[in-house]
Amino acid sequence: MNQYLNSLQSEWMKTKRSAASWLVTGGAFFIPFIIILIRLIKQSTLPEAYRAPNFWQRNLAQNWQVMAFFLLPMGVILATSLITQSEYRNHTWKQLHATPQRYATIFFAKLTVIILMLLQFFILFNLGVFLSVLIPFLLLKNVSYPVAVFPWLFSLKTNATFFIDCLPVMAIQYLVGLQFKNFLVPLGIGIGMLTAATFAISWQYGYIIPYSYSLFNFLAMSAVKDKPVYAVNIHLVATAYFLAAIIAGYFLYVNKKNKC
Amino acid sequence: MTGLCLQTDKLTYSFSKNEPALNDINMQVEEGCIYGFLGANGAGKTTTLRLVLGLLKNQQGNINVFGKPLKENRLEILRRTGSLIESPSLYGHLTAIENLSLLQKIYQCPRERIAKVLEQVGLGDTGTKKVNHFSLGMKQRLSIAVALLNSPSLLILDEPTNGLDPNGIIEMRELLKHINRHQGVTIIISSHLLTEIEKLVTHVGVIHKGSLLFQGTLAALQNRQLQASVLKFDTSDPVRSLRVIRDCGIEVHAETGKVVMQMMSKEKTAFVNAQLVKNDIAVYAIQTAATDLETIFMNLINE
């Protein structure tokens, strides 16, 4: 256990000033920033919107809209690939594998760092969502603080389901990123799968594509008509895909002939 | 007699079915020695060292380090080993201290080691400079610092002088000599240039096309050098000179009008000279044509 914690600390130190960490921070605040700008430009409708009883739910949906469809899966694809590619780019796999650590320790420490970065993204995004409400309120005199009670349970459930839904994307990207030296391979596979998921959204078996769950989840919580209804719980399918990809990824990683 | 720090037994490896990269490598590295692992590019040096570090899956043969099989004792062996394999393995977006700190977490060695090894390799003042902004020589020095961080008993350095200027090479040589003598660290250093490491190593292994052609002390290699050197007599009558010298029981042949024989002691040279003079043959000049170690190395790999 100590070895795992030491390895985790070591892996976390590598994210300092890394492209992946900038991506997490920048990506988390991007949509809220755009929404703040829109609100400041189109401020005439704000006083009424802030008074609406379902203001928080609408605000959350507005922020999640673009995030769920594109930025979240794309961000997970990029950040996960960047974490694994950092070792290839810096020629550090050989140094890492020449340290006295079990391969399982290295594999799970890296995986934990990616999951922690995903959590960090969710926390920063939620902070951004809150700032997208607070900043217009602080800057505009005619806008009052929302009267509606903040829906904690709804917010937590939304975050938790989106988090679960992007776990298979992360696990598959991790598996591919560990196997291929060329950054374009995990990136290409990720973009390809995401495109396939977008096309499969109206297909009754679209849930078999593991990159589609955040899209489905958003559609399920939105007011869109003709939203797809599946016979399965997509969050459970996402969890199953995540576990399967992690087991396969670990097996392939440990049995890799060349660990340089 | 010292024990063996590293021993490989019939180590064989191939990247593809028809191209064996290593053939029955029986490497023996004595404890406390500096072992120069020589070979041209692509000879199999890096493949051997990668196998020794467990970076490649062993296909055939055995590897023992510190008297223990690598397969069953990988972590214990790596805990006592420092390495630098080919190009520097460093995180470019981090500073030198940060690069060492993340390894210090894994090795759990004292934090003071970071400043100590940076000082040893002359990088004590790099401060907040990112490794991406280092020169190749600085990166190579930092890689050596990484290899030294855990106070290893065995140091494996693959072409560590790549990118170092002549001054840097001399400094590195002195540093390695120092840690070998004062800390008893066994060092395996690979290179494709004998001249680069002959002032440093005590033992030599020469690998070519995946086979170990020579292994022994530097003195044994130098003995080969002596044996390969020749003595040339420029005389007034080369044909008669050949007969006279052969009568003394010495193997000799003619080459561009000169009489050529294997290098011998001063006394024996004087004796041959006296015999020629005694037979009324004028000796104009006696020349020695020494073969340098580099030529021996080239001869070995061309045999």
**Chain B environment of A13 (Cβ under 8 Å):** 94, 98, 101-102, 105
Average pLDDT of span B57-73: 93
CB contact under 8 A, B88 and A91: yes
CA distances from B260 to B222, B233, B241, B282 (A): 21, 7, 10, 16
**Chain B environment of A14 (Cβ under 8 Å):** 91, 94, 102
Compute, in degrees rounded to 10, the torsion defined by CA atoms A53, A54, A60, A66: -130
CB contact under 8 A, A91 and B108: no
Residue B201 three-state SS = coil
Best of B48, B52, B55 to substitute, by most chain A Cβ atoms within 10 angstroms, is: B55
User: Cβ distance B193 to B292 under 8 Å?
Assistant: no
Residue A259 domain flag: no
Question: What is the distance in angstroms between the CA of the first residue and the CA of the last residue of chain B?
Answer: 32
Give pLDDT tens digits along chain A (260 positions): 889 999 999 999 999 999 999 999 999 999 999 999 999 998 888 998 899 999 999 898 888 887 888 889 999 999 999 999 999 999 999 999 999 999 999 999 999 999 999 999 999 999 999 999 999 999 998 889 998 999 999 999 999 999 999 999 999 999 999 999 999 999 999 999 999 998 888 888 888 999 999 888 888 877 666 666 777 889 999 999 999 999 999 999 999 988 87
CB contact under 8 A, A17 and B91: no
Rounded to the nearest integer, the mean pLDDT of chain B is: 90
Does B107 have pLDDT greater than 50?
Answer: yes
Q: How confident is the model at residue B17 (pLDDT cuts 50, 70, 90)?
A: confident
Nearest neighbour of B91 by CB, restricted to A90, A98, A260? A90
| B45-54, B226-235, B262-271, range with greatest mean pLDDT | B45-54
**Chain A environment of B92 (Cβ under 8 Å):** 89-90
Nearest neighbour of B106 by CB, restricted to A93, A101, A260? A101
Nearest neighbour of A91 by CB, restricted to B56, B79, B87? B87
Does B300 have pLDDT greater than 90?
Answer: no
CB contact under 8 A, A6 and B108: yes
The 10s digit of each residue's pLDDT in A137-195 is 999 988 899 989 999 999 999 999 999 999 999 999 999 999 999 999 999 999 999 99
Does B1 have pLDDT greater than 90?
Answer: no
Domain count, chain A: 1
Residue A62 domain flag: yes
**Chain A environment of B76 (Cβ under 8 Å):** 100
Long-range pairs of B99-104 with CB within 8 A, sequence gap ≥ 24: B99/B131, B99/B142, B99/B146, B100/B145, B100/B146, B100/B149, B101/A13, B102/A9, B102/A10, B102/A11, B102/A13, B102/A14, B103/A10, B103/A95, B103/A99, B103/B146, B103/B149, B103/B150, B104/B149
Distance CA B294, CA B296 (A): 5
- Which of A137-141, B93-97, B161-165 has the least mean pLDDT? B161-165
Residue A260 domain flag: no
- Domains located in chain B, CATH noted: 4-218 (3.40.50.300), 229-302 (3.30.70.100)
Distance CA B34, CA B162 (A): 18
- Which of A101-105, B11-15, B146-150, B264-268 has the least mean pLDDT? B264-268
Q: What is the DSSP letter of B290?
A: P
pLDDT the model gives residue B29: 97
Compute, in degrees rounded to 10, the torsion defined by CA atoms B270, B273, B278, B281: -170
Long-range pairs of A246-255 with CB within 8 A, sequence gap ≥ 24: A246/A111, A246/A171, A246/A174, A246/A175, A248/A175, A249/A107, A249/A171, A249/A174, A249/A175, A249/A178, A250/A104, A250/A107, A252/A175, A252/A178, A252/A179, A253/A103, A253/A107, A253/A178, A253/A179, A254/A103, A254/A104, A254/A107
pLDDT the model gives residue B2: 63
CA-nearest residue to A254 within chain B is: B57
Residue A206 domain flag: yes
**Chain B environment of A17 (Cβ under 8 Å):** 93-94
pLDDT the model gives residue B294: 66
Percent of chain B residues past pLDDT 90, beyond the cut: 65
**Chain A environment of B103 (Cβ under 8 Å):** 10, 95, 99
Average pLDDT of span B46-53: 95
A168 closest CA partner among A29, A72, A31:
A72
Domain extent at residue A200: 2-254
HSE, CB side, 13 Å, CA atoms: give it for residue A42.
8
- Mapped to the 3 state alphabet, what secondary structure does B227-257 carry? HHCEEEEEECCHHHHHHHHHHCCCCEEEECC
Q: How confident is the model at residue B163 (pLDDT cuts 50, 70, 90)?
A: confident
Residue A35 domain flag: yes
Number of other CB atoms surrounding residue B217 within 10 Å: 14
CB contact under 8 A, B89 and A94: yes
- Mapped to the 3 state alphabet, what secondary structure does chain A carry? CHHHHHHHHHHHHHCCCCHHHHHHHHHHHHHHHHHHHHHHHCHHHHHHHHHCCCHHHHHHHHHHHHHHHHHHHHHHHHHHHHHHHHHHHCCCHHHHHCCCCCHHHHHHHHHHHHHHHHHHHHHHHHHHHHHHHHHHHHHCCCCCCCCCCCCHHHHHHHHHHHHHHCHHHHHHHHHHHHHCCCCHHHHHHHHHHHHHHHHHHHCCCHHHCCCCHHHHHHHHHCCCCCCCCCCCCHHHHHHHHHHHHHHHHHHHHHCCCECC
Distance CA A141, CA A143 (A): 6
Nearest neighbour of B106 by CB, restricted to A7, A18, A86? A7
Q: How confident is the model at residue B59 (pLDDT cuts 50, 70, 90)?
A: confident
Q: How confident is the model at residue B257 (pLDDT cuts 50, 70, 90)?
A: confident
